[in-house]
């Protein structure tokens, strides 16, 4: 197994209500799961291949809860990546060289048997975890805008976090609101408007989450 690590920031938007029942082992809000995600890799490696400064993401769509499978997935990878870096990121993001069920990449890949060709695109990502704001722009494919949840009475920003000590994606995530627009690609997302937004640090390896030091 080739050793790898990714350290950076993640932002994703799914079609569930704020909080996302999946985080609590409950069924998704409307019974289905549609999501768009982006990652900024501040530093990382796959064996002797450096991945610092690259970005990547994916869209997924499931007819029911993720754990029931039958999903579809399409990866997007920074067009600046070299051939070696592209292969490395595709391996990591499809669950390769990873212990069983150790990362969200492994989970989504295992539950999405229909995989479309990976797209290599110009990516424009901005993720501010503390502010609960983000932008994911995959040229010609999809755009995700994230912002804080607003109090419906006062209009003030509302802050809430989810803490999962034994998760496969993060330890603590900031909750926000997200809206996804798909313009191209093979997966169309139509339900993600002012829905669950998730902002978190990413510290992952072959065996799952690395506790930040």
Mean pLDDT taken over the chain: 97
153 within domain boundaries: yes
Q: Is the pLDDT of residue 138 over 80?
A: yes
Q: Are 92 and 6 in contact (CB under 8 A)?
A: yes
H or E stretch including 81?
none
* Residue 133, pLDDT score: 98
Q: Is 212 a residue whose pLDDT tops 70? A: no
Burial 136-169 (b: 16+ CB within 10 A, else e): bbbeebbbbbbbbbeeeeeeeebeeebeeeebeb
On whether residue 192 sits in a domain, the answer given is: yes
179 within domain boundaries = yes
Q: Looking at residues 162-189, what average pLDDT do you find?
A: 97
Q: Say how many domains are in the chain.
A: 1
Is the confidence at residue 89, as pLDDT, over 70? yes
User: d(Cα 109, Cα 49) in Å, to the nearest integer?
Assistant: 22
Q: pLDDT tens for residues 14-46?
A: 999 999 999 999 999 999 999 999 999 999 999
Phi/psi for 83 (5° steps) reads: -60, -40
- Residue 144's pLDDT is what? 98
Residue 210 lies in a domain: no
Is the predicted pLDDT of residue 213 greater than 90, yes or no?
Answer: no
83, 118 Cβ separation under 8 angstroms? no
Q: pTM of the full predicted structure? A: 0.96
Q: In this structure, what CATH number is given to the domain that contains residue 181? A: 2.40.400
* pLDDT(149) > 80: yes
Residue 3: how many CB atoms within 10 A of its CB?
A: 12
Q: Residues with Cβ < 8 Å from 127, sequence gap 6 or more?
A: 9, 10, 11, 38, 40, 134, 135, 199
208 falls within a domain: no
pLDDT of residue 211: 86
Q: What is the dihedral sign for C-alpha 192, 123, 55, 78? A: positive
* Parent domain of 87: 4-203
Q: Is residue 209 part of a domain?
A: no
Q: Which two tokens stand for residue 166?
A: 């034994």
Looking at the domain assignment, is residue 178 inside a domain? yes
| Residues 164/155/178/88 CA torsion (nearest 10 deg) | -50
In a 3-state reduction of DSSP, which class is residue 133? strand
- Residue 84 in domain: yes
Phi, psi of 11 (to 5 degrees): -145, 130
pLDDT, one tens digit per residue, over 108-132 is: 999 999 999 999 999 999 999 999 9
- pLDDT, one tens digit per residue, over 39-80 is 999 999 999 999 999 999 999 999 999 999 999 999 999 999
- Closest alpha carbon to 34 in 162, 175, 199, 187: 187
């Amino acid at each position: 197994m080739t050793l790898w690590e990714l350290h950076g920031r993640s932002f994703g938007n799914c079609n569930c209500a704020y909080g996302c029942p999946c985080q609590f082992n409950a069924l998704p809000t409307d019974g289905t799961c549609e999501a768009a995600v982006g990652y900024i890799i501040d530093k990382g490696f796959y064996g002797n291949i450096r991945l610092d400064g690259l970005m990547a993401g994916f869209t997924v769509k499931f007819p029911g809860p993720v754990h029931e499978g039958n999903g579809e997935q399409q990866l997007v990878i920074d067009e600046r990546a070299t051939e070696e870096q592209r292969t490395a990121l595709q391996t990591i993001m499809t669950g390769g060289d990873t212990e069983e069920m150790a990362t969200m990449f492994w989970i989504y890949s295992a539950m999405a048997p229909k995989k479309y060709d990976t797209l290599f695109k110009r990516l424009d990502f901005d993720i501010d975890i503390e502010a609960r704001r983000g932008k994911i722009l995959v040229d010609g494919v999809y755009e995700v805008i994230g912002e804080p949840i607003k109090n419906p009475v006062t209009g003030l920003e509302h802050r809430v976090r989810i803490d999962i000590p034994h998760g496969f994606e993060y330890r603590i995530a900031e909750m926000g609101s997200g809206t996804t627009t798909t313009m191209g690609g093979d997966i169309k997302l139509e339900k993600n408007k002012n829905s669950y937004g998730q902002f978190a640090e990413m510290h992952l390896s072959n065996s799952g989450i690395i506790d930040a030091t």
